[in-house]
């Protein structure tokens, strides 16, 4: 039954994540942390970090990682399969329609109003990761001043570098990891 | 007419191209798609440029991972449904292998105090990356200068973050809003013509 649940969860993730890997982050969080007790928020943050650090689409990385933890190799295969099935069906249909009609205004209209919602959801997931890094939990604690100053500085510095010099995300993340090692070993 | 060997080579080429792209590209769909264009348009010449742009637009606006969507489209274009199956397989295999190996070492890795400090730093980096992505995407939305889109963005954020409404419900409501908006616009422009 666990395999069926895995399949269904990742099927929904695949079906409702429009606009790339970052759009899948809130959905994955919803399915594997909130709906099912498969991962803690801390493990989820780890997975997002690993998924970003390794090549390949974030959703597929997360599917393999969660699947293998829950039900071994079959779990990884089922979760991956579940996450790509909606793509296979919908995109093949769209490809066929594209070559037949070229351009669908209703589809484009729907996508245009879906995009702002996707941005909002990514922002919300980013906020969860932020409180995870700074407070070690998903939500803002009552005591806002209990923030980890090192984490705050690293996030601010990383953000500044990304905005200012448009460096690749991997480089910025690597530097943040190295900086954390350096700072905490000095403190 | 193509002979059997050419057909076989085509499938092998599709598989190897997508396998390599998936195995060596960090950063997901927005990075892999331009590389796919380079491979299939510039190097192999199997798809022309304008068509590739359309395929990219479809892959970015369809549900699911962009890299998977793009590989389905390219495979379908080059060799029909069997081609799409081959390219999906090529795209999916590397993450399956790589992450399976990583997850074997994850627990031992995670219990090491140095690793957990480094992971914390990396998490700060991921957070910064996501905020950067959000700012870029939000400014694209605001550039459209439509109240509807700005309202959807704010309301969705409030719904997901503060009200705890299920994401799927938010997405379905937005699909309904987008469909209604398009149909109303169509009706309005139809009446203008009269």
Does residue B141 belong to any structural domain of this protein?
A: no
Least confident range from A78-87, A177-186, B51-60: namely B51-60
Q: Which residue of A has its CA nearest to B183?
A: A106
Does residue B163 belong to any structural domain of this protein?
A: no
Longest CA pairwise span in chain A (Å): 64
C-alpha to C-alpha distance for A179 and B168, rounded to whole angstroms? 38
Indicate whether B194 pLDDT > 50.
Answer: no
The size of the A-B interface in CB pairs under 8 A is 346
Least confident range from A57-71, B56-70, B149-163: namely B56-70
Rounded mean pLDDT of B101-116?
A: 79
Cβ-based neighbours of A154, under 8 Å, separated by 6 or more: A133, A176, A179, A180, B121, B124, B125, B128
ipTM of the complex: 0.72
Cβ-defined contact of A177 to B100 (cutoff 8 Å): no
Residue A96: its chain B contacts at CB < 8 A? 76
Q: Which residue of B has its CA nearest to A67?
A: B100
Does residue B84 belong to any structural domain of this protein?
A: yes
SS3 B145: coil
Q: Which of B102, B133, B153 sits opposite A54 (nearest CB)?
A: B102
**B60, B33 contact by CB (below 8 A):** yes
Indicate whether B69 pLDDT > 50.
Answer: yes
Residue B69: its chain A contacts at CB < 8 A? 87, 91
Q: Quickly state the pLDDT bin for B90 (edges 50, 70, 90).
A: very high
**B161, A125 contact by CB (below 8 A):** no
**Count of domains forming chain B:** 1
What sign has the CA pseudo-torsion A148, A150, A156, A159? negative
Task: State the average pLDDT for chain A.
Answer: 84
Q: What tens digit of pLDDT does each residue of A111-144 get?
A: 778 778 878 877 887 888 888 888 877 777 888 7
Does residue B28 belong to any structural domain of this protein?
A: yes
Specify the pLDDT at position A21. Answer: 63
Does residue B162 belong to any structural domain of this protein?
A: no
Does residue B9 belong to any structural domain of this protein?
A: yes
C-alpha to C-alpha distance for B192 and B27, rounded to whole angstroms? 46
Residue A53: its chain B contacts at CB < 8 A? 26, 122
Q: Tell which of B64, B137, B152 to mutate to test the A interface (max A CBs under 10 Å).
A: B64
Rounded mean pLDDT of B139-159?
A: 90
Indicate whether B167 pLDDT > 90.
Answer: no
What sign has the CA pseudo-torsion B89, A7, A107, A113? negative
C-alpha to C-alpha distance for A142 and A119, rounded to whole angstroms? 27
More confident: B101 or A23: B101
Q: Domain range holding B6?
A: 1-108
Does residue B91 belong to any structural domain of this protein?
A: yes
Indicate whether B192 pLDDT > 60.
Answer: no
Rounded mean pLDDT of B93-99?
A: 90
Residue A172: its chain B contacts at CB < 8 A? 125, 128-129
Does residue B154 belong to any structural domain of this protein?
A: no
Specify the pLDDT at position B59. Answer: 79
Q: Which residue of A has its CA nearest to B154?
A: A120
Q: What tens digit of pLDDT does each residue of B14-64 get?
A: 999 999 888 876 655 556 776 777 788 878 888 887 777 777 777 777 888
């Amino acid at each position: 039954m666990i395999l069926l649940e895995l399949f269904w969860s990742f099927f929904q993730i695949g079906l409702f994540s429009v606009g790339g890997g970052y759009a899948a982050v809130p959905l994955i969080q919803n399915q594997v942390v909130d709906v099912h007790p498969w991962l803690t928020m801390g493990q989820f943050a780890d997975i997002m970090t690993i998924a970003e650090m390794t090549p390949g689409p974030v959703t597929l990385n997360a599917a393999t990682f969660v699947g293998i933890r829950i039900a071994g190799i079959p779990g990884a295969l089922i979760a991956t399969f579940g996450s790509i099935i909606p793509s296979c069906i919908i995109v093949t249909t769209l490809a066929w329609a594209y070559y037949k009609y070229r351009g669908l205004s209703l589809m484009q209209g729907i996508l245009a109003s879906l995009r702002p919602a996707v941005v909002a959801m990514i922002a919300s997931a980013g906020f969860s990761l932020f409180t995870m890094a700074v407070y070690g939990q998903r939500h803002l604690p009552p005591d806002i001043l209990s923030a980890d100053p090192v984490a705050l500085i690293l996030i601010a510095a990383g953000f500044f570098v990304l905005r200012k010099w448009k460096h690749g995300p991997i480089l910025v993340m690597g530097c943040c990891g190295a900086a954390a090692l350096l700072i905490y070993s000095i403190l | 007419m193509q002979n059997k060997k050419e057909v076989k080579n085509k499938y092998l080429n599709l598989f190897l191209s997508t396998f390599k792209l998936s195995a060596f590209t960090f950063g997901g769909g927005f990075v892999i798609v331009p590389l796919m264009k380079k491979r299939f348009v510039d190097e192999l010449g199997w798809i022309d440029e304008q068509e590739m742009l359309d395929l990219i637009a479809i892959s970015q606006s369809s549900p699911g991972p962009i890299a998977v969507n793009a590989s389905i489209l390219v495979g379908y274009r080059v060799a029909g449904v069997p081609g799409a199956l081959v390219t999906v397989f090529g795209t999916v295999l590397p993450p399956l292998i790589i992450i399976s190996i990583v997850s074997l070492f994850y627990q031992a890795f995670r219990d090491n105090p140095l690793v957990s400090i480094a992971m914390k730093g990396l998490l700060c980096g991921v957070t910064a990356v996501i905020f950067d992505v959000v700012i870029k995407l939000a400014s694209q939305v605001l550039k459209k200068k439509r109240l509807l889109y700005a309202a959807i963005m704010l309301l969705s954020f409030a719904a997901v973050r503060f009200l705890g409404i299920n994401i799927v419900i938010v997405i379905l409501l937005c699909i309904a809003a987008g469909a209604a908006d398009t149909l109303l616009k169509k009706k309005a422009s139809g009446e203008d013509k009269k």
